[in-house]
Structure formats: C-alpha cells, structure tokens
Amino acid sequence: MAPLRVYTQRQLIASVCREISRLLNTRSGLRGAHQLAAQGTVLDYGLPDFTSWIAASGVDRERMEAAIAQRIMAHEPRLREVKVSLEGNPDNPQSLFGVIRAVLQVGKVPDPVRFYIQGQDAEFLVLPEGDADNAGPAGSSSR
C-alpha cells in the first residue's frame, strides 16, 4: 500500500494554484445545448472562449468573473465560496488582472485564501497570495 501524501499548508495552496491555472488555461469546446447539458462535468472542463469579449467592458468582465467562479466551484472541490474580481487594463483592452477569493476546505478547518490572476491573449497567470509581489497590478487590486 502506498503511503499517504501529506502536504504542508504552502504545498496545498500551491497545488490548488496549479489546478486553477490548468483550469483557466483550458478552453471548453462545448457550445449551446451541449455545454448546458455537460455543465459541471469533466466534459465542460475549462473556460469558454473569451477572445471576443473585451476586458475593458464592465458587462464582459462580469460575465468573465461569473464564468471563472462557476468553473472553479465545479472543478476544484477544495475551494468553497469562490468570488472573482477582475479589473481591465486601460492601456490594453484585452488584458485584465484580478483576485480570486475563496475558502480552502480540507477536513474541518476552513482557511480563507486569495489567488491573483493576470490574463492576456487568452492566457492566465495565477499566483497565490504570498507571491503577490510578482503579480504586478493584481497585487494592488482593492476589490
């Protein structure tokens, strides 16, 4: 029998961060009725294609926030109460940054966590809160 793997808190947060990064950098190929039927399943893993959305648009940004939060809740069982806040970059309408706030639930101990995200050209960089200094403008987001 294989030994049990025990993570430190930092290793656990790094593991969740890697999974969020994989999720945000994967595109779901399903559309319309197929996407609705598969919602929350592994067939719908990843984000919808945001390339036609404009990060500077408040409406599109809210749609992105909702899609990211919904996908994280569906595919990362260690996180609860996921909230996503995004900001557009006024210098680049296709670029954004923001914060994912959630509760890391492992066993009976809930732990509030934050991850900083930067997105540009359909690629997302995800950093845990301790690495905020490397996150650029996302570390300064007040939302």
pLDDT grade, residue 55 (50/70/90)? low
Q: What is the pTM of this model?
A: 0.78
**Is residue 94 a part of any domain in this protein?**
yes
pLDDT of 5 over the 90 cut: no
**Is residue 117 a part of any domain in this protein?**
yes
**Is residue 1 a part of any domain in this protein?**
no
Q: What is the pLDDT of residues 61-120, one digit of tens each?
A: 898 899 999 999 999 999 999 999 999 888 887 788 999 999 998 888 899 999 999 988
Closest CA to 55 of 90, 21, 99, 20: 90
Q: What is the pLDDT of residue 45?
A: 78
Q: What is the pLDDT of residue 141?
A: 41
**Is residue 2 a part of any domain in this protein?**
no
The tally of domains found in the chain comes to: 1
Instruction: Look at residue 46 and give its three-state secondary structure.
Output: coil
Phi-psi region of 118 (alpha: psi -120 to 50; beta: other; left: phi over 0): beta
CATH code, domain carrying 117: 3.10.450.40
**Structural domain for 123, as ranges:** 9-140
Structure tokens at 91: 């210098």
**Is residue 115 a part of any domain in this protein?**
yes
